[in-house]
Amino acid sequence: MTEKQENILNTALKLFATKGYTNTSTSLIAREAGVSEGLIFRHFGSKDKLLDELVNLGICDMEKAIAPLIEEVDPNKILSDILDFILHVVRNDLEKWQLQMTLKYQSPEIAKKYHSSKVIMQMNEIIENAFRKLNYPNPKAETKLFMLIIGALFTILPNEDEIDQESFINFIKSKYNI
């Protein structure tokens, strides 16, 4: 992985996440990344495959992020950690994760691949297990709602100031008694 390759990936990630996939041209990516447009196609083949590559990298990041949760036994800590993680991401790593979360509006086919990936299934399992341990009557639906809330947080939190972000996360925690 050369420096220019990384430039392309970082730039594309930023632009896809902020402007959207179809709204971002390959010529703009090249210009912002400081490379010739042809290089994008030399390394990644097509604009589609470039997005695909970013999603794959996102899946890797996701795997690293949930790794500590797999061994965690306290269900309350699991839910709490996830919400803290969201807050951390929105403040520090937004672009990287926003792309994954808004993927369904960028490219439905690639989104499908992502949402049926092993990590997402694993994430589901971890959360469902937590709700089961906590004796929630309907852990499956509870998980679906929790995942829905997490995803939507990425679309509203970035527009709020830090205080509101934190107090809203704390409010959600209180709804789950954590």
Partner DNA sequence: TTTGCAAGTAAGTGATTACTCACATAGGTA
Partner DNA sequence: TACCTATGTGAGTAATCACTTACTTGCAAA
| Residues at the interface with a second copy (CB under 8 A) | 20, 22-23, 102, 104-106, 138, 141-142, 144-145, 148-149, 151-153, 155-156, 167-168, 171-172, 175
Residue 47 contact, options DNA, a second copy, none, Cβ 5-8 Å cut-off depending on partner type = DNA
Residue 60 contact, options DNA, a second copy, none, Cβ 5-8 Å cut-off depending on partner type = none
User: Which two three-digit tokens encode residue 57?
Assistant: 């990298």
Whether the CB-CB separation of 72 and 170 falls below 8 Å is answered with no
Following CA atoms 70, 73, 79, 80 in sequence, which dihedral angle do they give, to the nearest 10 degrees? -110
Whole-angstrom CA distances from 131 to 30, 48, 68 are: 46, 38, 18
Figure out which of the listed residues 24, 98, 106, 117 binds DNA, where binding follows CB under 7 A. Answer: 24
Q: Footprint of DNA on this chain (CB under 7 A)?
A: 2-5, 22, 24-28, 34-39, 41-43, 45-48
